[in-house]
Amino acid sequence: MRKLLKGFLIDLQFFSAIPVHLELPMDKPHLKSAVQAFPLLGLLQGGIYASLFYVLLEYTPFSNLAVAFLLWLMTILLTGGIHLDGWMDASDGYFSYKDQQKRLEIMNDPRTGAFGVISVIVLLSCRLLFMYEITVNVHVISYVMISAIPLLSKSVMGMLLLTVKSSKKEGLGALFQSSATTMDLWTYPAYIIGFLALVSLFDSGILYVSILIVTAFVILLFCRRSAVKWFGGITGDVLGASVEGTELFLWMTLWLLHYFAMA
């Protein structure tokens, strides 16, 4: 349990802007615990998003647009933009339409290209649209589903990390990958089953969250195939892009559910 807690704190240091002023061990056992704790980090982030969303809607005079904007801003600030950086780098690499090695070289370039800028504008604009329209048709179950989005995206990141080969021998992705195996993924279903048990308290909650889970699984399959085809495997940037892409499609799914199933 202590290792899992330290692994969770490692995740906070690497993948969030939440300050953790501790010198944590970076050996294989603790990095393995960090991989096992990816969904816990997502659940914390999702809980913060859902709580902020609820407080802004229920206890402030802000307009729906202002609430959506503040929630949108929180999704950037809480992660420190680390996954957005991966999204931009992977976009620059992919849209170069070069071979795998050249794409990796482009992703390693500290400069951001035009395609990276355009892709992040599109991603953030779509996310803001989805959030705004959800505020207009919000339901109680909406808060639960919002909290599930980072949980699932971090789960996808962990599963990609341990089921797809690394295209580089160094970097953040290779560091975590060398410390865990696919056997360590047993914690992920446990987190999701526990979350579904809580969701069962809400009418139709399991159905709607199950749709998000299925969507995340389809995205995982797509990302596994695409990472190997486009980049020769995973890198830290590819994993970051997978988090942002998964969350974008889950927000879109939630948006569509509010239109066609929860209206």
Segment 51-97, tens digit of pLDDT: 999 999 999 999 999 999 999 999 999 999 999 999 999 999 999 98
Instruction: Report pLDDT for 106.
Output: 93
The DSSP letter of residue 112 is: -
Token pair, residue 78, equals 């809480």
| Rounded Cα–Cα distance for residues 190 and 173 (Å) | 24
- Distances in Å between the Cα of 207 and the Cα atoms of 84, 189, 219, 228 are 30, 17, 19, 32
Contact 7, 36 (CB under 8 A): yes
| Rounded Cα–Cα distance for residues 24 and 48 (Å) | 24
Whole-prediction pTM:
0.96
Q: Is the pLDDT of residue 225 over 90?
A: yes
| Rounded Cα–Cα distance for residues 12 and 44 (Å) | 10
Q: What percentage of the chain carries pLDDT values higher than 70?
A: 99
The better pLDDT of the pair 173, 156 is held by 156
Instruction: Report pLDDT for 23.
Output: 86
Q: What percentage of the chain carries pLDDT values higher than 90?
A: 78
- Distances in Å between the Cα of 188 and the Cα atoms of 39, 153, 185, 251, 254 are 7, 12, 6, 21, 22
Instruction: Report pLDDT for 174.
Output: 79
Q: Is the pLDDT of residue 245 over 70?
A: yes
| Mean pLDDT value across the chain | 93
Residue in the block written with tokens 């060398």: 178
The better pLDDT of the pair 79, 174 is held by 79
The helix/strand/coil state of 109 is coil
| Rounded Cα–Cα distance for residues 13 and 1 (Å) | 19
Instruction: Report pLDDT for 263.
Output: 66
